[in-house]
Structure 1
């Protein structure tokens, strides 16, 4: 069994469906069973929905009362990143599965100098409702699923960072409010700053959940503002970004 040492996995949480909670519990089970990572969860909502802490000895949990129907994920991710206890931090969605071998390889890439590493090669495999149920009942089902194809190489779902350097480079861009193209903005910012980004071989599997207000576009003013945040980063020069973030290498 591959063991991953001195790594924090951070998960911002808004429980908007039973499937979301089922997925989170399953993802936690796999991470704790297959690795030795420590996990930090921050749930922000009008009331607490996540209670399954019994037996999760390596999980730290914090609840923040938040009545905003839009989940400001980037803001809470920054709080998690600042509070993480280890120099290598993985940022995880509640519904994604990565093999422990891929996680270990990604950690090694960070230790070798990458500021950001995706623990998969771009194949983002969406599982339907029936597949997700089967996987939660028996994780070995994943080995039988077709992972040979995907859409364009993904930069979402999960990534690891050198915590100190990523925060120095701006951390999460809190201009992204709710669901938006923040995944693309992170990578573009690293590219402009000429910071190394890497990948490892293997797919990412995404468990099914219903799509609500925090899981898709709304075609309104919020989407326009989020898109503008991406465009503004793309237009910046390295010198402008260095001045904005204060990054010094």
Structure 2
């Protein structure tokens, strides 16, 4: 008959023998300490002192999770769009009905990114007319104009997005309530886009740093984990490399 354990002094070591399985040898004795206040056995070693248990210090320059930041295209297009509009105009684009708008973009490389940004920002209620190719024939223009007219008269909003406004339907140009003109990003726009992408404050940038860079050239300089200074260096390097490439093309005679 086992002796009662009541009255054992706190911290008494009780030697316990684990149960023996028929296919295993007897396990070694394990020292455990019974704590009467807790009413249970406590391991002799504290978990925090077990070798290999440690906390990782956060990296000072660790990149933020992808879900917490916009991608490079969204950061650039969003910053450029906000620089070209007022809060009041953006409110109208988000809520007004039967509104006709034109978005004039710097080059054809901006057409589809701006289209995606416009749809995600201002909703699916807009009928979009995007133009980034050669001018369609007369039938194409008349069909587009008819769809614009029917949409507006039915209460739907319409937006035309193009680098060349001559490519937009005639009815859209005539009915436009507002025109948003996006320009090549200047230093302020780039600073905003870099800060949003990297989640860090970007340094002031000269307006000329990306004057010759198209949207695709700008996006290529935005890399995950790169800080603002590194992105600016890549922008400057890209501008310099493309200028050298353009100069070589101008000075190289065409082969006959």
Output the TM-score relative to the length of structure 1: 0.26
Larger radius of gyration: 2
Larger fraction in strand: 1
Instruction: Pick 1 or 2: higher relative contact order, CA cutoff 8 A, min separation 6.
Output: 1
Output the TM-score relative to the length of structure 2: 0.26
